[in-house]
Amino acid sequence: MASASDAPLGRPTVYADAYDAALLHAVPRARGRSVWVPEGAELPFFGEDVWHCYELSWLGQQGLPRIALARLRVPCDSPAIVESKSLKLYLNSFAQERAEEDAVAALLARDIGKVVGCEVAVELLDARVPTATCVSAGECLDGLTPTVSEYRCDPALLRTATERGRDCVHTNLFRSICPITGQPDWGTITVSYAGRRLGREDLLAYLVSYRLSPGFHEDAVERIFVDVRKATEATELSVHGRFLRRGGIDINPFRSMEAMSAPLERVPRQ
């Protein structure tokens, strides 16, 4: 499998004018997980990544362009993810192809599934109809005022009390850095858990500490999950990242101790 450094992200590219599945580039999940999930170990979570792709267009049989919003659902136990710019280039390669909508969806599922190494669910949504939005679950942490001086991921900030309880909170202040281009990735993170109680200001300071930390969206959410689970000795835990659109794609990783589907609603910022 090719390395992330071979991906088109961060490089000048030419947009293809003919369908080309070879444009898709895989990034092994094991590379990002190697720090907190030993090779061969069972994953400590269930979940999936929900991708919304806004730059999809092809030609109908009469030559008139068609558009759709593609929703992709990739299980978190897939061997790889698809590199986002390669997906953008692949989707744009449909621009001059004549096809029926069902055939486009079937090609997406086949091609992307082959790259990530598992079955991928694909829906083509009517781009004229707004997708459902929601306010993030739980209480917002953004009004708190912790003293913050650490901007590289620091799990030591997760200080817990002896008593146990449950909490559900979110922040819109999350920022991390793309490990390839150095561009910022902005998102809303929701954490719901039952376990040893975390101080909310400490949790916010921890989430803010990702501000200069490099990592793909999926890596950030999984590290948050692992760190919070360890600190709280959680019996229930889910972490949901809803990242803002970049390159015509928004990515929404969801990880949980319980086998369940990711919420599909988007936040207003998206």
Q: How far is residue 214's CA from residue 222's CA, in Å, rounded to a whole number?
A: 13
Same domain for 165 and 252, yes or no, is yes
Tokens of 37: 């999930």
* 206 — pLDDT class (breaks 50, 70, 90): very high
For position 145, what pLDDT does the model report? 96
* 6 — pLDDT class (breaks 50, 70, 90): low
Strand ranges of the sheet holding 65-75, from the earlier edge strand across to the other edge: 121-125, 65-75, 46-59, 249-256, 236-243, 184-198, 160-177, 139-140
Domain-located, residue 156: yes
Domain residue limits at 229: 139-256
Domain-located, residue 267: no
Burial 76-89 (b: 16+ CB within 10 A, else e): bebebbbbbbbbbb
Domain-located, residue 269: no
**Residue ending a domain, choose from 125, 160, 195:** 125
Same domain for 158 and 249, yes or no, is yes
Name the more confident of 176 and 3: 176
Q: In the chain, how many domains are there?
A: 2
Same domain for 153 and 242, yes or no, is yes
Same domain for 97 and 208, yes or no, is no
For position 88, what pLDDT does the model report? 97
For position 161, what pLDDT does the model report? 87
CATH of the domain at 236: 3.30.1130.10
| Mean pLDDT (whole number) for 1-29 | 76
SS3 category, 128: coil
Same domain for 103 and 158, yes or no, is no
Q: Which residues carry out catalysis?
A: 178, 185
Please tell me whether the overall predicted TM-score, pTM, comes out greater than 0.85 for this model: yes
- Please say whether the beta carbons of 51 and 88 come within 8 A: no
* Tokens 């953004």 -> residue: 142
Same domain for 223 and 119, yes or no, is no
Same domain for 18 and 118, yes or no, is yes
Q: How far is residue 86's CA from residue 94's CA, in Å, rounded to a whole number?
A: 13
Question: Distance between terminal CA atoms of the chain?
Answer: 32
* 174 — pLDDT class (breaks 50, 70, 90): very high
